[in-house]
Structure formats: structure tokens, C-alpha cells
Amino acid sequence: MERTPDDTLYPPIEPYESGMLDVGDGNLVHWEVCGNPDGKPALVVHGGPGSGCNPRSRRYFDPDRYRVVLFDQRGCGRSTPHASDPATDMRHNTTAHLIADMERLRDHLNIDKWLLYGGSWGSTLILAYAEEHPERVTEAVIPAVTTTRRSEIDWLYRGAGQLFPEAWDAFRAGVPETSDPAGLVAAYARRMESEDAAVRERATADWCAWEDAVLSMEAIPGPAPYSGRPGREQLALVRICSHYFAHGAWLEEGQLLARAHRLTGIPAALIHGRFDLAGPLITAWELNRAWPDAELTIIDDAGHMGGTATRRAVLRALDGFARNR
């Protein structure tokens, strides 16, 4: 199927197959498949962590050439139990669990290898999965590169306060029980486990306000990226985000860059906005230097959420990789 002009997404499509996969620990992960049943397998790995998959992601793939799999990571979207429910046990929601879920889903769908697509937190999970199972990855397309190092977390929830001091003061004031600015994420994670619904809701609003402030210099149409989400989805997103980031995503500092040699032989398109304040360009630059088969495209007029040029680069990469069977 052809597109015109070259930054136009493919037409909307609906899944032809979907289900709930039992991944253990009482968790059911929602998945769906769309496109060509005989096409090149590709997995969409959403961000957040905890944002849930977006139907718009289907439209980056040529439906005649790709068999596109989307899934909601544990605790969010249509997966159950939902992290917005305070009774949901977060001990069984870690990076290692998500990697195992992806492998279980691949096996369930009888897929030998697949292309991986996703950005922001999705890129961290893609890298962690690909370094653990390089034999299962054909290519990767990653906009908004992150590796969730503690230094990256510290920048997003403390360092970026130098650019938005009034918003950061409000973010810090949301957890008056901690006097250490480096402990804000952990303090929010503790609040999201409170038995008091009002405490959880206030922490969610404060967290989302800060995240929106970091993205406020980008021209983003529609509702605010974080506080514009439905309440239940906000609660799950903040609970999962703070849970993961308080633990450094259960990764050794710099682990994904240090193990990037395991990605040798996997072609990749890294696409990153120069003005990405949520995830500065240096991470994509370092990954590109460590990954011999990756090609970095820097979008000079884009931030974390991308735009026309970012969309064009993603489509070009996915269309190009579609020829590899």
C-alpha cells in the first residue's frame, strides 16, 4: 500500500485477532494483531512505562507487508489487574517480568523473530529484550531513545527543574516529607501505594503536571499528554512510572549501553529530536556509538513527542525494513 505525501500515516485498521495472555502471577496481558497475517512480524512496545498501547501506532506499518502485534504491558491499558486498583500487587511488575511476557507472547503467536518498534520507555524495554534475546530480533526502530539510567531519571525529575523552576517547586512541594531532591521519585512511589485515595490522586495530579511542564515547549495538539488522560489511566501510569523509576528499572547503571555489543548484527534506526528535554540527545548519541548496526537520525526541530519530520523518519525506516524477509 502506498502513502502520499511521505509523512502521511497508513489508513486506520482494526485487529483481526486479539486475546488475553496468562503470563503468571495473576496477570493477563492484552494483545492484538493487525495487518497481513502472512506479513513480516513486528511488535509495538509502548512507552510510559504504563501508558498502554495506542491504536495510532498501527498506522505506521504498511498493512500489506506487516503482521503488527500490539500489547498492553502489565498493569495498564486493557491488561489485568490494573495498576489503578490499589489492591494490584506491583511486586510482579518489573522489567524482567515484561521481557518474559514479550517472549511468552512471541511463542503464543508462533513468531520466530520480529521487528521491534517503540520509543521513550518503550526503547528501554526494546533494548533490554533485544540484549537478552538478540536471536529473536530482526530490526528495531526507536524514536525518542532512552536507557533509563539513574542519571536519566535524575535529569527528568530533578535536573530539568533548572528550566522550569516554578513547575519543579510545585512538583517538589507535592512530597513535603522528603528534604532530599534526589528522593522525589521514591517519595511519589510511596504515595502511590497509600491506602488513602485522596493521597494517590493528589500525587498523580502533581506528577502529571510536572511531566506536562517538561513537554510544554513542544507544539502538541489535543489534550495535555499526561494530565489530559482519563483518571484511571493517569493513576496507573503514575503508579507504574514511579515504581519503575524508583528502582532504576531494575537495571545496573549503564547496563544497556555496556551490553550494546550484544545487538551486533541487528539493523536499527534511532530517531531523536535535538530539543527533547525529557530525554536529552546524548543518550541516543552514546547508543549509536555503541551499536555498530544502528543509524542515528537527529531531528533538529523536534522534541520528545516528535512531529512531522520524526514521523517521516519512522515511516521511512519501517517501509525500508519491510523489504527484509
Catalytic residues: 120, 276, 304
Residue 36, C-beta contacts closer than 8 angstroms, at least 6 positions apart? 63, 64, 65, 66, 67
- Class of residue 129 by CB neighbours under 10 A (exposed 0-12, middle 13-18, buried 19+): buried
* Coil/strand/helix, residue 214: helix
For 182, phi then psi, to 5°, come to: -75, -10
Q: Are 139 and 61 in contact (CB under 8 A)?
A: no
Residue 80: C-alpha distances to residues 24, 102, 177, 199 (Å): 11, 16, 32, 23
Q: Which residues, in sequence order, are CB contacts of 152 under 8 Å at separation 6+?
A: 146, 279, 283
Helix (H) or strand (E) holding 70: strand 66-71
CA proximity to 204, closest of 186, 183, 226: 226
3-state secondary structure of 28: strand
Q: How far apart are CA 302 and CA 148, in angstroms?
A: 21
Beta strand pairing status for 27-35 and 17-24? antiparallel
Q: Which burial class, exposed, middle or buried, applies to 323 when counting CB atoms under 10 A from its CB (0-12, 13-18, 19+)?
A: exposed
